[in-house]
Amino acid sequence: MGDAQNPLEGRRPLALAAADVFQANALAGKVAIVTGGGTGIGAATARQLGRMGANVVIASRKAANVEPAARGLSAELGRDVLGVVCDVRDRAAVDALVAAALARFGRIDILVNNGGGQFFSPAEALSPRGWDAVVNTNLTGQWAVTQAVANGWMLEHGGAIVNVTMLSHRGFPGMAHSVAARAGIEALTKTVSVEWASRGVRMNCVAPGLIASSGFRNYPEGTFVLEDLARRVPLKRFGSAEEIAATVAFLVSPAGAFITGQVLTVDGGQSLWGDSWIIPDPEPMPTVELPTEWWEEE
């Protein structure tokens, strides 16, 4: 058998496809839209997908977020990142976002619904306007982008969608409006992933826990208790925007090709832990630093 030909020689075993998940060409030729792509998790995700070879479109409601991010990411990646101002609550703006992506790149293979927003409030203090703004952004707006991308490209050509949500399965006191919207997105994802499976469209959710990103600065009252919050995580630290971006990249890559309709929780074990099992704190506790993109410091 010394000269017997290896039957796998020259062939690439399917099982090795996962090894390519973060290679520079894993998403070559693909086009990705990332909403909320100007800051935090969105910017980190846009960077990760771009490094894997995708052409990237980032969208944000604020020009002050999306324009410097598009310039900065373009400089990092060495090719144009298209920045589009888009309020996902405005269906005309959503249609314009999809049209801009198709006009520039001719296709949309990946959608990351990361854009969102909320504020802390006891449920009884929520005004109708506050409730509507958050639900329209985090539920209706995400669906508007999803439907526009699906009708504009994916239902005919396939694609991968990831919805960034939040920890919802135990509720979220102080965030009734947002957790209701995010739970709705997770149920929507499970439903639509089945309906669109035959069209080659996969849809999943990523539910981050405590993430040290620039978005945390939107809640000044929370920055005073960062170390205490970190103690509530079994891994005793905050996650990073890059760790969420890596999870998203896995799901949209060929390595995630058999995953659809799932909610992947990335929270350091936070949602599993209660007070009945003591986990000692390290000494000293890791400090929590909220990062800033280099283009935000100019």
pLDDT in tens, 118-137: 776 787 877 888 878 888 89
Q: Averaged over 180-208, what is the pLDDT?
A: 96
Cβ atoms of residues 235 and 131 within 8 Å: no
**Superfamily holding 26-296:** NAD(P)-binding Rossmann-like Domain (3.40.50.720)
Of 252 and 287, which is predicted with more confidence? 252
Q: Averaged over 94-120, what is the pLDDT?
A: 93
Q: Residue 201 — pLDDT band, cuts 50, 70, 90?
A: very high
Of 197 and 214, which is predicted with more confidence? 197
Cβ atoms of residues 51 and 76 within 8 Å: no
Share of residues in the chain with pLDDT > 70 (%):
87
Give the distance from CA 130 to its chain's centroid. 24
d(CA 88, CA 51): 26
Whether the per-residue pLDDT at 16 is higher than 60: the answer is no
Whether the per-residue pLDDT at 1 is higher than 50: the answer is no
Of 49 and 177, which is predicted with more confidence? 49
- At which residue do the structure tokens 């944000």 appear? 60
pLDDT in tens, 212-239: 877 666 655 555 567 788 888 999 999 9
d(CA 58, CA 82): 6
Whether the per-residue pLDDT at 93 is higher than 90: the answer is yes
- pLDDT given for residue 45 in this prediction: 97
Contact partners, residue 151, CB within 8 Å, separation at least 6: none
- pTM for the predicted model, two decimal places: 0.85
Whether the per-residue pLDDT at 265 is higher than 90: the answer is yes
Whether the per-residue pLDDT at 7 is higher than 80: the answer is no
- pLDDT given for residue 15 in this prediction: 45
d(CA 259, CA 256): 5
Domains in the chain: boundaries: 26-296
pLDDT in tens, 37-81: 999 999 999 999 999 999 999 999 999 999 999 999 999 999 999
- pLDDT given for residue 277 in this prediction: 72
Mean pLDDT (the chain) is: 87
- pLDDT given for residue 13 in this prediction: 44
Q: Averaged over 249-267, what is the pLDDT?
A: 95
- pLDDT given for residue 275 in this prediction: 65
